[in-house]
Amino acid sequence: MDIEKQYQRMVGNLLPYGPAWDKTEPILLSLALTLSKTHLRVDDLMREIDPRTTNELIDRYEQICGLPDSCYSEESQTLTTRRNRLDSKLNLAGGINKDFYLQTLAINGYPDATITNYNNDVFTCESSCEDYLYDEEWRYYWVVNIPAGRHITEMTCEDSCNSYLRKWGNKQIECIIEKLCASHTYVIFKYGVINA
């Protein structure tokens, strides 16, 4: 049933009984219209509370959260990008563990990214031949593996002769992860990784 009709029925039911009261009185119909519009507006405002569905309050939310920051240029953002960034800033539970960074990568469009740590991969005389050759310093390094085909641009015949043969990288996600990473660690980004 239409919400305006529901309010017309409710307002009509509030009238005293008797022949003097008409439920189709214009003032009562306008009151029902006003109440239905108010009801719909309150529903809109309830959607504005959630940063994933906000439209009108997104500028205010971004101002409160310090967005857009240096990781995002203002002109390249769509409403969806702004909402995702706002949602990750407000609702992502922080941490300095692998799950936190994978969650951040997923929210920012990389659900299939992986992370490689070198915490327990120190090569010693008892290591097998197949172990990696990392020393103790590598425990401070970790690698974000972006799957094959993502943000890799090959040179074409139409490019100029001083163009790169291949370019890769996404400055935006690199900036976000580097801002969130622990200050004593170093992040390496690998693009085009098939299995990591």
Answer yes or no: do 177 and 106 share one domain.
yes
Share of the chain above pLDDT 70, in %: 88
Is residue 129 in a domain?
A: yes
Per-residue confidence (pLDDT) for residue 156, from 0 to 100:
81
Q: Is 61 domain-assigned?
A: no
Show Cβ contacts of residue 114 under 8 Å, excluding neighbours closer than 6 positions. Answer: 102, 144, 145, 193, 196
**Residue 63 burial class via C-beta count within 10 angstroms: exposed 0-12, middle 13-18, buried 19 and up:** exposed
CA neighbor of 152 nearest in space, from 192, 113, 189, 195: 192
* Residues 133, 186 within the same domain: yes
Per-residue pLDDT of 99-111, as tens digits, reads 889 988 888 888 8
Side-chain-side CA neighbours of 1 within 13 Å: the count stands at 9
Residue 87 lies in a domain: no
Does 120 reside within a domain? yes
d(CA 191, CA 144): 8
Give residue 104's domain range: 94-193
Residue 39 confidence (pLDDT): 94
Can you tell me the distance from the alpha carbon of 170 to that of 104, in angstroms, rounded to the nearest whole number? 15
Is there a cis peptide before residue 68, judged by omega within 30 degrees of 0?
yes
pTM more than 0.75: no
Q: What is the pLDDT of residues 144-167, one digit of tens each?
A: 998 866 666 777 888 888 877 777
Answer yes or no: do 26 and 98 share one domain.
no
pLDDT for 120: 62
Residue 68 belongs to a domain = no
Q: Residue 163 carries which DSSP code?
A: S
Quote the pLDDT of residue 104: 86
- Tell whether 103 and 174 lie within a shared domain: yes
* Cβ atoms < 10 Å from Cβ of 101: 20
Alpha-carbon distance of 19 to 38, in angstroms, equals 30
Task: Say how many domains are in the chain.
Answer: 2
Q: Which parts of the chain have pLDDT scores under 50?
A: none
Of 49, 65, 82, which closes a domain? 49
CB-CB contact of 7 with 39 (8 Å): yes
Q: Report yes or no on 84 lying in a domain.
A: no
Q: Is residue 79 part of a domain?
A: no
pLDDT reported for residue 87: 82
Assess if residue 57 is contained within a domain: no
